[in-house]
Amino acid sequence: MTDISQTDYEVINGKVDQSSPRASRLSLDSSCSLIINNITADDAGRYSCRPGSDASSDGLVLLNVLTISVADPTKEDFTLYCSLWRYSDLGSCPGKSFHWLDEKRTELTESAESRLRRRCVSSLTVKHQSDTNRRFTCQFIEGTKVKVEVQHTRVHLYHRAGDEAVLSCNRPSSSDSCSSVDWSYERNNDRKQEVHKGMVQSSSRSARLSLDRNCSLIINNITADDAGRYTCRYDTHVYLNVMTISASSTDADPKNDELTLSCSLERFWSGSCPDKSFLWLNETESELTGEGDGYKSGGQTGCVSFLTVNLQSSRRFTCQFVEEKTVKIETHYGSEGMMSHF
């Protein structure tokens, strides 16, 4: 393989050079074609095949690799970068050679292109996407033909503590196993690898983790500590939000049946819940605001909402988390104990 600055020998006399850093991913088929598994941006460049000692019979292959990445993913507004990595001597990509599409295949025109030493880059800034499932597709175009495309998928899941969560991975249909799948977890600037090459890694929650046949990550009996961002190798980002509800006495007197209910949503963006995004309802589905018969609203702080109640055996209270007029998840507290559902 060659680039304008260096030449590396990957195969010598029909055998993969084991000193190559990519040797474990290289092999030859029966036609002496070079096979590269799990390609990366570093694999882009010019590959030369010399079947004998005559340089005039060299076969040349230019490998271009399209990647997508996100800048500062800790923010709700983010920028996607789509890069075509190629042989440095090819020069600049033609103008308007990148197209961005949303999940409806509608073209997004607010993008910018630039040229770096080994790659052509297009950027797309996306605003206010904390609660919405989105898929962004970047296409590289030559003439009128789509040469290659790559996707960035963001999925937001809402669950309650104790649920089983299934986190889907946008794995190509051509993959027939999970041996190339990695899953990582991130929250509060702490990043951990939960799955590597299809194998669950040792951790405090490894006993609750598994992969299904589609390489989706399954988390059993989830807790508030499981909330955060999970990333599959195929540029799929799943944001797991976990709702919990708890009750505490407001008085040291055990005869006092007044309780404060706390409804919390744990998520990747800590404390990033909009004002008035929690609703409290009684057993007749009437909203509880201010102060009334047997209750007093304690307001909302960050992603926690409070309600003080005189708990009676026949009463049930519901906490809902609402974004853009849609109930994302709700949980109940009452005489039958705690239970939650979407």
Q: What is the full DSSP assignment across 106-137?
A: -EE--EEEEE-SSEEEEEEEE-S-TT--EEEE
Question: Average pLDDT for residues 242-252, to the nearest whole number?
Answer: 81
Give all domains of the chain, ordered by start, each with its CATH number: 2-63 (no CATH), 65-143 (2.60.40), 156-242 (2.60.40.10), 243-341 (2.60.40.10)
- The pLDDT tens digits of the residues spanning 147-199 come to 999 998 889 999 999 999 999 987 776 566 888 899 999 988 888 999 998 99
User: Residue 277 is which amino acid?
Assistant: S
pLDDT (0 to 100) of residue 63:
94
- Gyration radius of the chain over CA positions: 27
**String of DSSP letters for 39-74:** --GGG-EEEEE-SSS-GGG-EEEEE-EEEEEEE-TT
Compare 211 and 173 and report the one with higher pLDDT: 211
The backbone torsions φ and ψ at residue 55, rounded to the nearest 5 degrees and listed phi first, read -65, -20
pLDDT (0 to 100) of residue 84:
93
Mean pLDDT of the chain: 85
- The count of other CB atoms within 10 Å of the CB of residue 301 is 11
**Nearest of 147, 238, 224, 246 to residue 186 by alpha carbon:** 238
pLDDT (0 to 100) of residue 78:
82
SS3 label, residue 93: coil
How far is residue 105's CA from residue 111's CA, in Å, rounded to a whole number? 16
Q: 331 CB contacts (<8 Å, ≥6 apart)?
A: 160, 243, 244, 245, 263, 318, 319, 338, 339, 340, 341
pLDDT (0 to 100) of residue 318:
94
Beta bridge partners of 141: 146
Give the burial class of 231: count Cβ atoms within 10 A of its Cβ; 0-12 exposed, 13-18 middle, 19 or more buried: buried
Q: Is the distance from CB of 241 to CB of 219 less than 8 angstroms? A: no
How far is residue 272's CA from residue 255's CA, in Å, rounded to a whole number? 37
Q: How far is CA 218 from the centre of its chain?
A: 14
Q: Is the distance from CB of 220 to CB of 226 less than 8 angstroms? A: no
Element (DSSP H or E) covering residue 248: strand 236-249
Instruction: Say which range, 90-99, 162-171, 196-205, 333-342, has the weakest mean pLDDT.
Output: 333-342
Q: Is the distance from CB of 32 to CB of 14 less than 8 angstroms? A: yes
| Biggest alpha carbon–alpha carbon distance for the chain | 96
User: Residue 283 is which amino acid?
Assistant: E
How far is residue 256's CA from residue 115's CA, in Å, rounded to a whole number? 70
How far is residue 203's CA from residue 233's CA, in Å, rounded to a whole number? 19
Supply the pTM of this predicted model.
Answer: 0.78
